[in-house]
Structure 1
Amino acid sequence: MTSADGDIGDARRAATAFGSRACPDADLGALALVVSELVTNAARHTSGWWRLTVRGEGRRLDVEVEDRSSAVPAARTPRLDGRGGHGLNIVSALAGPLEVLPGPHGKTVRARWVAARQAHEPLPGPEPHGASPLIGQEP
């Protein structure tokens, strides 16, 4: 998907729809937030043009956002006045370190992680005495 095909919300929806099919154990909330932050950064801090690619295989997810800027994104100290600095910190917390791949006309920022089972999904196996499958599980 590119910026010509839709906006940040469209990118989020397309990524989570794909993620739910390609990587059933994916944390779709984390996927949506990573996509939202990376696409927002590309739209806000570059010429505005971006291309989103999401790949999933088994339990691995790759989110890539390409833009025309060669500037390497850097995490900033978050501001408490609502003026930013949170995006890359959020992405790093959810997906780990980012890869920045230089290209002939800009760069690609890649977040890659192995999906974990979502906390709200039932765990396999019988539930003793009708107990909730979430009892004793960390959020």
Structure 2
Amino acid sequence: MNAEPHVVIEESRRHDTGDGSGSAGARSATTAFLLQHCPWADLDAVLLVVSELVANAVRHTTGWWRLHLTAGADTLVVAMEDSSRQPPVARRPDLGGGGGGFGWHMVQHLAGRVEVRPLPHGKQVQATWIRSAAGAPSGC
């Protein structure tokens, strides 16, 4: 079992164009990382969280974002840093017209724990999953 954490960092371009290319790179890096270091993690759930965190960073900030993926022996941490000091805000979902409001609720539902931390240069949103003991293979 490898108890040392592994870290992968995916970064936006200086001025992300919002064309989805940053999100695609983040999803690709996340998939490769999970397959190698955390095969126990729910890939679909983690990819949804990563996609939402990237989309929020692109949509609600005017600068850079940086994705960190860390795997411990029994944990997976997805941490998104961005240039905005404003924390995510849960909005009432728009059920009738495509106005959004689902993402932050989804992140909080899919991750085991979600924390928002202020940073000197912006903020960090951290989603953590802990491997369940039932039927899980050893090692991450």
How high is the TM-score relative to the length of structure 2? 0.77
Describe the superposition over 1:25-84 as per-residue Cα deviations: whole angstroms up to 9, x where unpaired: 011111110100011101101114210001112231100110111001111111121121
Q: Judge conservation of contact 1:22–1:58 (CA < 8 Å) in 2.
A: no
Cα distance in 2, alignment partners of residues 78 and 56 from structure 1: 32
Q: Judge conservation of contact 1:23–1:115 (CA < 8 Å) in 2.
A: no
Higher relative contact order, chain-length normalized (CA < 8 Å, sep 6+): 2
Larger mean Cα displacement after TM superposition, 104-113 or 53-62: 53-62
- Equivalent residue runs for 1:106-125 within 5 Å: 106-115=122-131
Number of equivalent positions: 119
Cα distance in 2, alignment partners of residues 91 and 26 from structure 1: 15
Identity of counterpart residues, as a percentage?
49
Q: Report the AA paired with residue 12 of structure 2.
A: S
Match of 1:71 in 2: 86
11, 14, 23: which one aligns with 2:29: 14
- Equivalent residue runs for 1:35-74 within 5 Å: 35-74=50-89
| Two-structure CA RMSD over aligned residues (Å) | 2.0
Q: 1:48 to 1:82 in 2, by over 3 A?
A: farther
Cα distance in 2, alignment partners of residues 97 and 78 from structure 1: 21
Cα distance in 2, alignment partners of residues 91 and 46 from structure 1: 18
Give unpaired runs (5+ residues) of structure 2: 1-9, 15-20
Shift >4 Å, 4+ stretches: none
Q: Which structure: greater strand fraction?
A: 2
Give unpaired runs (5+ residues) of structure 1: 118-122, 125-139
How high is the TM-score relative to the length of structure 1? 0.78
Deviation at 1:92? 0.8
Q: Judge conservation of contact 2:113–2:129 (CA < 8 Å) in 1.
A: no
